[in-house]
Chains A and B, each alone.
Chain A
Amino acid sequence: MNFDWSVIWTHRSALLEGAALTVGLTVLTMLLAVPGGIVLALMRLSSNKLARSASLAFVEFFRNLPLILVIYWAFYVMPMAFNVQFSPITTALVALVLNVSAYNAETFRAGINSIRKGQMEAALAIGMSRRQAMFKVVIPQAARRILPVIASTWVSLFKDTSLVSVIAVGELAYTAMQIRAQTFRVLEMLTAMAALYWLMGYPQAKLVDWIHRKYGVKE
């Protein structure tokens, strides 16, 4: 069995483009899913029963589905529902944002709820409105607890972008597997794929550890 590792070098620009798209998808998804999560969390905490139920249903639904299934489903349903052809990237982005927003919503909600009721009461007692109390007292404290969890979600998202390869989005996994199919260099390409993910993901994981240490809650 002979191995030709030079094939990795030959296709380095394609692989790097794939890696760049992986990063781009992660960044773009988070940019949309953080506000998405905040909106969902505030809906869940609001006094409006409809908003609460809608948010709860959305979050529970997307937390309880495999992402790969959501990706496939979006791929087939979106063109049918909107009568428009979407590019695979758009479909991928929609699926990812729906999925991550649901997780973020839980993170934000739990973070806000973890701030003791007494803080809200103290703020109300000096005459603040609920809104003022939320934005000036509760949320600044909740942010500290929420950040490490969002960081962990980020790393999970980074890995999950590999799943959009099933609908032919040209991120790293898809690119590597395409090159494998073209060159028949299975071991080399799959190892390169793993190594590239490792190179990008390992520092991120370490960064998350640092964030957890720095902002971890000491009760």
Chain B
Amino acid sequence: MNATASPPARKNAGQPPVLVYENVRKLYGDFVALKDVSLQVQKGEVMCLIGPSGSGKSTLLRCTNALETIDGGRVLLDGVPLPARESEVRKVRQRMGMVFQSFELFPHKSALDNVAMGPVTVLGMSQADARARARTLLDKVGLGDKAQNFPANLSGGQQQRVAIARALAMEPEVMLFDEPTSALDPETVGEVLNVMQKLAHEGMTMIVVTHEMSFARRVADWVVVFESGAIIEQGPPAQIFDAPTVTRTRDFLGHLGWNG
């Protein structure tokens, strides 16, 4: 069962939500990964999904851009349900950007060409225009001087920033982050979180699955707590981290050593 506490004022509450999840259900064989999850994401909102491993947060993210198919319920982008056919889903994916825990840069392309690849292959842009856009984005994430480097010659933090630029190159409406810093050395986590924070201040709608509680506390507009495939609590960071209403939330945070 989802927490049904009526949420306090949310960002851009007057406008229709960008993403709506209606009773989303996902099964892996007999295992129920998502149990009738319902959620709304507002425009320009930074939403952080937190919870123990295996609680369904990454699964929900991957259902958002149809990398996984759902077994029940609906996902709506700007009020329109995600199409079922692969050829139409592609168009929807172009409107969302995804950043993976393992970066997944294309190792056979330079940083510049990694970022340009989407516009060239998918949007049909010319190489020159795509590269120009790529250069701008690499500057934006602070890697303008690394444009010619190949992923093997970039640190983890640098690779992840290139990955963010690659997703931004498609000019998405929503950015999905799947544990973007979990695979990084502690020293490089900061550089990636800074880029994400900058993006948030520019008004990008972001859904972030993360274990970085201080980031969530500082940057999120809305925090959603998952456990065993369901939402047990959601609310502004102040509520979740300082005064959680649900005991299991308190337990989870206490487990992580979060002292509020």
Q: Which residues of A contact B (CB under 8 A)?
A: 116, 118-119, 121-130, 132, 136-137, 140-141
Contact = CB atoms under 8 A, between A and B. Distances in A.
Given A124-B93, A141-B108, A132 B102 contact: no
A136 B105 CA distance: 13
B42 interface: no
B91 A121 contact: no
Contacts of A127: 90-91, 93-94, 118, 122, 170
Contacts of A140: 108
Contacts of A132: 121-122
| B-side interface mostly | mixed
A122 B118 contact: no
Tell me what chain A mostly uses at the interface: helix, strand, loop, or mixed: helix
A196 B22 CA distance: 74
B247 interface: no
Interface string B161-180: 00100110110000000000
B93 A125 contact: yes
Contacts of A118: 100, 102, 104
Nearest to A136: B121
B86 interface: yes
A119 B100 CA distance: 10
A50 to B, nearest CB: 20
A125 B91 contact: no
Nearest to A130: B86
Contact of B166 (A126, A136, A137): A126
A214 B96 CA distance: 39
18 contacts: A116-B102, A118-B104, A122-B106, A123-B106, A124-B93, A125-B67, A125-B167, A126-B94, A126-B122, A127-B91, A127-B122, A128-B90, A128-B122, A129-B86, A129-B87, A130-B86, A132-B121, A140-B108
A126 B118 contact: yes
A136 B104 contact: no
A122 B100 contact: yes
A118 B122 CA distance: 18
A116 B100 CA distance: 13
Contacts of B102: 116, 118
A148 to B, nearest CB: 17
Contacts of B90: 124, 127-129
Interface string B117-133: 11001100000000000
Could you say which of A121, A126, A130, A137 has the most chain B C-beta atoms within 10 Å of its C-beta? A126
Given A119-B106, A121-B67, A127-B91, A136 B117 contact: yes
B98 interface: yes
Contacts of B170: 126-127
B97 interface: yes
A141 B67 CA distance: 22
Counting from the closest, the 6 A-B pairs by CB-CB distance are: A127-B94, A122-B104, A126-B118, A125-B98, A127-B122, A118-B104
B107 interface: yes
A123 to B, nearest CB: 8
Given A128-B90, A132-B122, A137 B106 contact: yes
Contact of B104 (A119, A128, A129, A130): A119
B210 interface: no
A173 to B, nearest CB: 42
A138 to B, nearest CB: 10
